[in-house]
Structure 1
Amino acid sequence: MRDEQLPLTRRHTALRCAVGHYCPLGFHATWAYLAATARPSPDLRRDPAALLRALETLEDSRTVRLNELAAIAARRHTEKAAGRRTPRPTDTTLLRGPHWPSETAPSRLGLVAAVADRHKDFRRLPHPDETLYRDSEAPQLAGLHARLDACATTYLTNLGHIDASTRRALAETIREIERLRRPTHTPLNGHLLMWLRFAHLVAYAAAAFSAP
């Protein structure tokens, strides 16, 4: 990516490949975060300086991530030796949920861009086919989709801030989506997992800058 002798298109592709290997917010959300924070040019394909800024942001985050993983591994080694086999909830969140590792607070602009990108995709997702769920679940699914859409819209309208009532609504939406998941792999679970990934991204982004 740093080879200035290569065409910008190839360097752009190399950056996308790097994001494919390290995407703490998911591929598309991570790309949106980098594109937003690498401004002033919004098009990374035409701005070599912005490409380098994006790469540096990605590398800085990955360095912090590797340090986080090393710290978790060392702590788990000590805890297992002491008989504690279950990881801490905070460790599980860091390992599985969306999270932008950084020495400082993540970029609010970057997180807003990430949520906006995923919100557009969420709205385009087809609703689960009615053959995938019980008739009694139809109103609940429609309500959860509408509530998640409303929470994300509030977040974006307020440029990264949501009030306490919206945070509670988002948390309850996540719990209800998780309760609807089947114990085995089913087509409905595929839809619900996409909703959950988006909901967790909104929740993480909102928590990063919401007042307690």
Structure 2
Amino acid sequence: MSFSVYARRVRDRTLPHAHRRSALRSAVVLFKPFGFRATWSYLGTVGDLDRDGDALLRALEKLESSRDAGIAERAAFAERRREEKRILHRQRPSAADTEFFRGPRWPGPDGHRAVVHEVARLWRAHAGSVPELPAGATGATGLDIVVCGHVLSYLTAGGRLDRHRLDAVAECLPGLRRWASPPPPHDAACTYFRRLLRMAELILNDPDGATRQQ
């Protein structure tokens, strides 16, 4: 079924709460900016989705707002690309566009709040010792220290980093992507650096995460 059908079921107060909640979950399956688990976690900030019918409506409103913004954003990008091809003969999107659409994003007015929530959630899961790393992975340890410092600064500042720190995070992306796929049997290290990479990408795609340098 379509997203709109599930949305109507969420709004149908004649249905049992469990059916409406299930419909919202199905809608999230169809549109999940951060993946299902992370998207559901953010929607849960509006209230008790297990018991509160009004919370279901508030969550649906956030989800629909993001979906509508994403559709409009992609349409605007497609139109701009057509113009670039026609006028500038630019066949490939810019590196900035590629990076922007590559990373995790929450389109719409909740973009900043959603990113801060997800970075904080991942940071809680990230706490603990660094797992065993492949032989000769001294660079990975330094990378971990640097990125963790920036993530902590971002959260401490309420979801803000100055441009210098944002640039430093961006410079760490190639290294993070390399260590996010280490050879077996380093699955724990892979999970660790994938989570670190995810936090870095989220911060860089925060629509309101930059502050002016002092």
TM-score interval, smaller chain: 0.7 to 0.9
CA offset at residue 60 of structure 1? Answer: 1.4
Q: Could you tell me which residue of structure 1 aligns to residue 116 of structure 2?
A: 112
Percent identity for Structure 1 against Structure 2? 35
CA offset at residue 88 of structure 1? Answer: 2.3
- Structure 2 residue 31 is the aligned partner of structure 1 residue 22: yes
Query: In the superposition, relative to structure 1, how do residues 121 and 53 fare at CA in structure 2: closer, same or farther (>3 Å)?
Result: same
CA offset at residue 52 of structure 1? Answer: 0.5
For the residues of structure 1 that align with 2:194 and 2:168, how far apart are their CA atoms?
Answer: 18
For the residues of structure 2 that align with 1:108 and 1:84, how far apart are their CA atoms?
Answer: 31
User: Which of the pair has the greater relative contact order for Cα pairs under 8 Å at 6+ separation?
Assistant: 1
Matched residue count: 198
Which sections of structure 1, spanning at least 5 residues, go unmatched? none
TM-score, with structure 1 as normaliser: 0.75
Query: In the superposition, relative to structure 1, how do residues 34 and 124 fare at CA in structure 2: closer, same or farther (>3 Å)?
Result: farther
For the residues of structure 2 that align with 1:147 and 1:115, how far apart are their CA atoms?
Answer: 16
Q: 51-60 vs 72-81, which deviates more?
A: 72-81
Moved over 4 A (4+): 179-182, 185-190
CA offset at residue 200 of structure 1? Answer: 0.3
Q: Could you tell me which residue of structure 1 aligns to residue 20 of structure 2?
A: 11
Query: In the superposition, relative to structure 1, how do residues 146 and 66 fare at CA in structure 2: closer, same or farther (>3 Å)?
Result: same
Find the residue that maps to 1:84 and give its secondary structure. Answer: coil
CA offset at residue 62 of structure 1? Answer: 0.8
For the residues of structure 1 that align with 2:50 and 2:112, how far apart are their CA atoms?
Answer: 23
Matches within 5 A, 1:1-212: 1-36=10-45, 38=46, 41=47, 43-82=48-87, 83-102=89-108, 104=109, 106=110, 108-123=112-127, 127=131, 129-130=132-133, 133=134, 135-137=135-137, 139-164=138-163, 166-178=165-177, 180=179, 186-187=183-184, 190-191=190-191, 192-205=193-206, 208-212=208-212
Query: In the superposition, relative to structure 1, how do residues 126 and 8 fare at CA in structure 2: closer, same or farther (>3 Å)?
Result: farther
Query: In the superposition, relative to structure 1, how do residues 51 and 80 fare at CA in structure 2: closer, same or farther (>3 Å)?
Result: same
Which sections of structure 2, spanning at least 5 residues, go unmatched? 1-9
For the residues of structure 2 that align with 1:8 and 1:155, how far apart are their CA atoms?
Answer: 38
